[in-house]
Amino acid sequence: MACVDSLLHRPDSALARHLGLDWSAHEENTARLYEVLHYGLQLTWADRTVDPDDPEVRRRRMQDERNGVRPPKAPILPPVAVRPAAAAERARESYLAELAAWTAPVASERVMVDSDEFDRILGLDSE
């Protein structure tokens, strides 16, 4: 049993790799740091290439404002770092859960109707 314990505590052993024990907190922190840097690069690129005065950008901002869509309080970082399969799956599930929690339901489209149609919808039709 002591032999198995010693193999479990050696990250370079085949048993530790097979059980997924070779992914330490240090490696996870390095992966998260990479993801933060990647996210920062994406933001910088978008800031440099998106024209805030573009009519399409303005239209989307106004549409989001009307629908009450706000950015999340903290950035949601996609898991872009290479991880072992189990750690990658956990990171992906965590990302999708954060994304689902933030994603606001799409507001229904507003429909303009005249007063007669409005009365009919409310059942106030005098016909």
Q: What is the per-residue pLDDT across 4-18, written as a single tens digit (0 to 9) for each?
A: 555 445 555 666 666
Question: How far is the C-alpha of 6 from the C-alpha of 16, rounded, in Å?
Answer: 10
Distance of CA 55 to the CA centre of its chain: 26
Evaluate whether 23 touches 84 at the Cβ level (below 8 Å). Answer: yes
Q: What is the per-residue pLDDT across 58-104, written as a single tens digit (0 to 9) for each?
A: 999 999 888 878 888 889 999 999 998 888 999 999 999 999 888 75
Q: What is the per-residue pLDDT across 31-60, written as a single tens digit (0 to 9) for each?
A: 999 999 999 999 999 999 988 899 999 999
pTM: 0.60
